[in-house]
Amino acid sequence: MATRVHLEPAETLAQRLLATRKLTLDLAAPLSDADATIQPFPDASPAKWHLAHTTWFFETFVLRDHSPEYEPFDERYAFLFNSYYEAEGPRHERPHRGMLSRPSLDEVRDYRAHVDEALERALPTFSAAATELIELGINHEQQHQELFLTDILASFAENPIEPAYAELRPPACFAVEPLTYHPGREGIVEVGATNGRFAFDCEGPRHRVFLNAHRLASRRVTNGEWREFIKDGGYRAPILWLSDGWAWAQQQGVDRPLYWRDDETEFTLGGRRDIDWAAPVGHVSHYEADAFARWAGARLPTEAEWEDFAASADPMIGNQLDEAGAVAPRPGGGMFGDVWEWTQSAYLPYPGFVTDKGAVGEYNGKFMSGQMVLKGASCATPRGHSRASYRNFFPPAARWQFTGVRLAQDA
Ligand SMILES: [Fe+2]
């Protein structure tokens, strides 16, 4: 595997594994079986499916392949809960995941317990290769924890009675700091994952890129600034938009961020509430982000500009740190937290990228077409899952994730 893992005592890995598995169950605790079963649209998955698919990942790539005495919980689940791994055979169609009223949520919880017990039993016997796959499985499950929340938000947003998933704290005390621009480094810099800490294969190899003179904004674009864009006719001015983006906005009737309900309120995981004008705007597509940037006399950063700025401006958030130094979201400031930040960079392989052999080689590489890179982290990203080299990616029209905007300029 090309993933880079700092091998640690099995006990620590076991603790992180169980903590990650438990957090997913905790996320599902407020849900009814019906809440967990519905699928709001084909790109979003039911909560129950996330619970089962992350379990299938461990069952298949760790237990089946590295624990000879393992007995599958139910042979039929491989068809139901394989996401997109061609090497693992045929699978249930993604747009129909919401049709699975069976197995029940409780049966899926039993499936999780079965796999967790087997993992715990086998852990002391695992080879280094199996241990690397557990690390991959932990990080995979953390990605699904974020998707779990964005997909529940999308499901509840479909419901006219506007249910709340959880009591959310009132918005953090965002203060509108004046937006200032800060020079990034110019010249040849290195980007990509460094050794010594887990990274997905697509984050490497580390390599050199050339950065022209540029400046990055001190903070993300706020809801208040987005309101100015709307008032100024930003959604009605084709001159601001990429051709594909303009066609998309016209066809979909897009004229505001996804969950804004009217001029004053938005739908959130805590139900409907007043828009906090000082908070970073979220749930905007790459197309909208790009149009906003043009309106603001700026542009979106490249992923290399963003990564070098994050890694060099604050060594606390670079790649060199251990788990204890991992990123804590800082509302309103810093490069990580609140919302992912769209870049102008297409999601493409780095020089020297080689797809892993076997099924896990399908994890990232095969999606390097038609998607844009996002950097940072969001309010829904599990702690410790963020780093400067992280490459999130979505198609340019996607906006059900926690996605926002940081501006850049040529210097
Ligand atoms: Fe997955």
Q: What is the pLDDT of residues 124-139, one digit of tens each?
A: 999 999 999 999 999 9
Do the beta carbons of residue 340 and residue 374 sit within 8 Å? yes
Name the percent of the chain lying above pLDDT 90: 82
Q: CA dihedral in degrees (322, 214, 175, 393; nearest 10)?
A: -60
Contacts of 335 (CB under 8 A, 6+ apart): 306, 309, 310, 313, 314, 317, 375, 376, 388
Q: How many angstroms is it from 47 CA to the middle of ligand 1?
A: 13
- CB hemisphere CA count around 2 (13 angstroms): 22
- Distance from C-alpha of 315 to C-alpha of 325, rounded to nearest angstrom: 10
| Phi and psi at residue 172, to the nearest 5° | -55, 155
Instruction: Tell me the per-residue pLDDT of 4-39, one tens digit each, with 9 for 90 and over.
Output: 445 555 559 999 999 999 999 999 999 999 999 999
How many whole angstroms from 326 Cα to the centroid of ligand 1? 23
212 burial type by CB count under 10 A (0-12 exposed, 13-18 middle, 19+ buried): exposed
Predicted confidence at residue 316, as pLDDT, reads 43
- Report the separation in Å between the CA atom of 388 and the middle of ligand 1, taken as the mean of its atom positions: 22
Q: 348: CA distance to ligand 1 center in Å? A: 20
Phi, psi angles (nearest 5°) of residue 91? -150, 165
Closest CA to 255 of 288, 223, 297, 277: 288
pLDDT of residue 197: 85
Q: Report the separation in Å between the CA atom of 50 and the middle of ligand 1, taken as the mean of its atom positions.
A: 8
| CA 147 / ligand 1 centre spacing (Å) | 10
CA of residue 6 relative to chain centroid, distance: 23
Please state, as a whole number, how many other Cβ atoms lie within 10 Å of the Cβ of residue 209: 18
Please report the pLDDT score of residue 314 as a whole number.
55
Question: 174 C-alpha vs ligand 1 centroid, how far in Å?
Answer: 34
Provide the strand spans (E) within 150-220. 181-183, 187-191, 207-211, 214-220
When pLDDT is averaged across residues 153-174 and rounded to a whole number, the result is: 86
Identify which has the larger pLDDT, 246 or 319: 246
Mean pLDDT of 290-295: 98
**Residue 264, helix vs strand vs coil:** coil
Give me the pLDDT at residue 8, please. Answer: 56
- If you compute the radius of gyration of the chain from its CA atoms, what whole number of angstroms results? 21
Per-residue model confidence (pLDDT) at position 326: 39
Structure tokens at 296: 């603001």
The rounded distance, in Å, linking the Cα atoms of 160 and 174 is: 29
Sign of CA dihedral 308, 309, 313, 317: negative
Is the pTM of the predicted complex or chain greater than 0.75? yes
Distance 82 CA to ligand 1 centre (A): 8
Q: How far is the CA of 137 from the centre of ligand 1 (A)?
A: 9
CA of 135 to the centre of ligand 1 (A): 14
- How does pLDDT run across 360-370, given as a tens digit for each residue? 888 898 999 99
| Ligand 1 geometric centre to CA of 178 (Å) | 39
Give dist(CA 103, CA 95) in Å, integer.
Answer: 17
Q: Is residue 394 packed enough to be buried (19+ CB in 10 Å), middle (13-18) or exposed (0-12)?
A: buried
| CA 57 – ligand 1 centroid, Å | 7
pLDDT(231) > 60? yes
62 C-alpha vs ligand 1 centroid, how far in Å? 14
Closest CA to 226 of 150, 300, 291: 291
Kindly give, in sequence order, each residue whose CB lies less than 8 Å from that of residue 67, ignoring residues fewer than 6 positions away.
118, 122, 125, 126, 130
Q: For residue 257, how far is its CA from the centre of ligand 1 (angstroms)?
A: 27
Q: Cα separation of 199 and 61, whole Å?
A: 18
Which alpha helices (DSSP H) does 97-210 contain, by range? 105-122, 128-157
Q: Is residue 230 pLDDT above 80, yes or no?
A: yes
d(CA 264, CA 261): 8
